[in-house]
Homo-oligomer: A and B are copies of this chain.
Amino acid sequence: MKTIQSPAELRELIRNGKWTTPTSGAASGFLQANLVMLPAAEAFHFLLFCVRNPKPCPILDVLEPGVAEPAIAPGADLRTDLPRYKVFENGEFKTDVQDVSDYFDDQMVSFLLGCSFSFENAMLAAGLPIRNVAEDKNVSMYTTNRRCHSAGPFSAPLVVTMRPMTPEQAIRAVQVTTRFHLTHGAPVHLGDPGKLGITDLDRPDFGDAVTVHADEIPVFWACGVTSQLAATSAALSRVITHAPGHMFVSDLKDEDLTIL
Contact = CB atoms under 8 A, between A and B. Distances in A.
Contact of A62 (B51, B62, B64, B260): B51
A21 to B, nearest CB: 31
A219 B40 CA distance: 40
A141 B84 CA distance: 48
Interface residues of A, number: 18
Interface stretch (A8-16, A41-49, A220-228, A240-248): A41-49
A66 interface: no
Interface string A165-207: 0000000000000100100000000000000000000000000
**Of A48, A149, A151, A152, most B-chain CB atoms within 10 Å:** A48
A115 B260 CA distance: 21
Contacts of A52: 62, 71
Contact of A259 (B40, B59, B178): B178
Interface in A29-82: 40, 43-44, 47-48, 51-52, 59, 62, 64, 71
A75 to B, nearest CB: 18
Contacts of A48: 47, 62, 64
Nearest to A109: B44
Contacts of A149: 71
Contacts of A64: 48, 151-152
Identify the interface centre among A43, A51, A149: most chain B CB within 10 Å of its CB: A51
Contact of A44 (B43, B71, B181): B43
Interface of A: 40, 43-44, 47-48, 51-52, 59, 62, 64, 71, 149, 151-152, 178, 181, 259-260
Nearest 10 CB-CB pairs, A to B? A44-B44, A259-B259, A43-B44, A47-B47, A51-B59, A48-B62, A181-B259, A51-B62, A178-B260, A44-B47
